[in-house]
Amino acid sequence: MPPRLYNTLTQRKEEIAPLVPGEVGMYVCGVTVYDLCHLGHARSLLVFEVLRRYLTFRGYRVRMVRNFTDVDDKIIRRAQETGTTWDAVANHYVREFQTDMARFELPPADVEPRATAHVPAMLALIERLLARGLAYVVDGDVYFRVRAYPGYGRLSQRSLDDLRAGARVEVDERKADPLDFALWKRAKPGEPAWESPWGPGRPGWHIECSAMAMHYLGESFDLHGAGEDLIFPHHENEIAQSEGATGKPFARLWVHNGFVRLQQEKMSKSVGNVFTIRDLLGKFSADALKLFLLGTHYRSPIDYAPEKVEEASRALDRIRLLAEAVEVLEEVPDEARPGGIASAVAAARAEYVAAMDDDLNTALALSAIFTLVRHLNAALDTLPERRLAGPAAAMALREGVAVVREQARILGLSLEGGVPAGAKAAAAAAVEALLREYCPASAPRITDLTGGVEALLARREQARGERDFATADAIRRRLNDAGIEVADRPQGSTWRFRRS
């Protein structure tokens, strides 16, 4: 059975049924490049990347298009405020976006078109709407005639009368109807402008997505996604102008993710309660942030709180440490094979796929991963020593971890590193101070963090040998305060950064 997704259009979960069997074309509304991305963007970007990866895992060839809106009122305003040009603002924030995505460890979409590179396609679409009587020109502006398009309101479950009753929009009296929206805006002095049959101007917001989606995916395509705030009016308008122009169904499946909130309130720039991806990645690893975001179903709201990301980070350690424990396994001659690994792996596979197939239920999929982790840990515990295994046991455990890694990878989790840059710098400074205190002789020669920690551990080992536990414990405690955990094992002491 194919994966199912909740379709906003039909308000039901529906099976993926691509127009071209085996190939999925998806369009995701990207960002308007006038400011840094915040956690709300991160959630949407992550959810659709996970969808792309999961569909790919399930055997589909996926083409994901995600646009940059690189001309609009906010960009123009930002340029005026900062005394630069609109395209300088756009270029700047495209680069910032790419920087953030790299740090968040999300790859680019297959196509990342910019609105301003597709103005001719937009003009062509507007011409078609004019030819069909669905648009009209007023004084260099072009508007879509909402009441001439019968299906309007289908996506957002609204009737035209509801909209009129609730309309709080300031009415532009040049519009024939308050509901009509701009396809093309006549240029005002000093604004970016493109030539058009109706005079110089720039595209309205909605038309770019219609034009680019059709250009890269065809007039009809499989899946369109974004945050739920775009359902109305943006996606409603996209449908109206696209289907109005082509007479064909536009996107078949409309997928919308829920908001990130802060103390029960939507996180958005207009509310002013945003946390940028950049700031968050200074405090938390990409994996921790992703695990936090995927612990809640994508359609539900999720409340941001730093403690929750820290919790996610600790949960992540369960997976990482299991993977490490298995990967450093040493093989010894031993016929024993812990029972139940194969069935636990099979169960985890089935549960994971069932969960993800059912409207991308990442929270349930994660529980399958954690259950498998627990079974594999239990198997490790049955070994005579946790790091020594016979060939059969080692093979079974490695296979289990391979499944864990694959399932985590689909969720965007690398299971690597996990130490924010800020934490390393702070640790390095603290270690340098400790070196001067405990190893004054060698301190000047040691410049790197690893060397410093190792010198301190050697000094501590000496103290332990002399049963000077006061000194040994002091070093351990102060390293711990610096974010470096020391563990005494039979083979000697080891250390690592405290993860977050």
Tell me if residue 277 falls in helix, strand or coil.
Answer: helix
CB of 134 to RNA, least distance (A): 19
At 477, list the tokens. Answer: 């405690």
Burial letters 32-58, b for 16+ CB under 10 A, else e: bbbbbbbbbbbbbbbbbbbbbbbbebb
Least distance to RNA, CB of residue 28, Å: 8
The residue to which tokens 């790859």 are assigned? 107
Question: How many residues are listed for the chain in this entry?
Answer: 500
User: Based on CB atoms, which residue is closest to RNA, 447 or 480?
Assistant: 480
- Shortest reach from residue 405's CB to RNA, in Å: 16
Shortest Å distance, C-beta 447 to RNA: 27
Q: Which is nearer to RNA, 12 or 445 (CB)?
A: 12
In sequence order, which residues have a C-beta less than 8 Å from that of residue 381 and are 6 or more positions away? none
Q: How far is the CB of 237 from RNA (least distance, A)?
A: 9
Q: Which is nearer to RNA, 84 or 300 (CB)?
A: 300
Cβ nearer to RNA, comparing 23 with 265: 265
CB 489 within 8 A of CB 386: no
Residue with smaller CB distance to RNA, 166 or 333? 166
In the complex, least distance from residue 22 CB atom to RNA, rounded to whole angstroms:
24
Q: What is the CA radius of gyration of the chain?
A: 28
Residue 366: how many CB atoms within 10 A of its CB?
A: 22
CB 208 within 8 A of CB 75: no
CA distances from 424 to 71, 74, 170, 453, 493 (A): 39, 37, 52, 12, 20
Of all helices (H) and strands (E), which one includes residue 13?
strand 12-15
Q: Which residues pair with 143 in a beta bridge?
A: 136, 182
The least CB distance from residue 40 to RNA, in Å, is 2
Using the CB atoms, write b or e for 376-387: b if 16+ within 10 Å: bbebbeebeeee
CA–CA distance, 134 with 227 (Å, rounded to integer): 28
Cα gap 398→64, rounded to integer Å:
33
Rounded-to-integer distance, Cα 248 and Cα 288, Å? 43
Q: Which is nearer to RNA, 80 or 156 (CB)?
A: 156
Nearer to RNA, 374 or 445 (CB): 374
Which tokens in the block code for residue 305?
């709180």
Least gap, CB of 221 to RNA (angstroms): 18
Q: Decide whether 333 or 491 has the Cβ nearer to RNA.
A: 491
Task: Considering the complex, state which of residue 19 and residue 474 has its C-beta at the smaller distance from RNA.
Answer: 474
**Between the CA of residue 365 and those of 117, 260, 348, what are the distances in Å?**
40, 21, 9
Cα separation, 433 vs 92, in Å, equals: 40
Rank residues 258 and 390 by Cβ distance to RNA and give the closer one. Answer: 258
What is the closest distance, in whole angstroms, from the C-beta atom of residue 300 to RNA in the complex? 4
Q: Closest separation between CB of residue 299 and RNA, Å?
A: 7
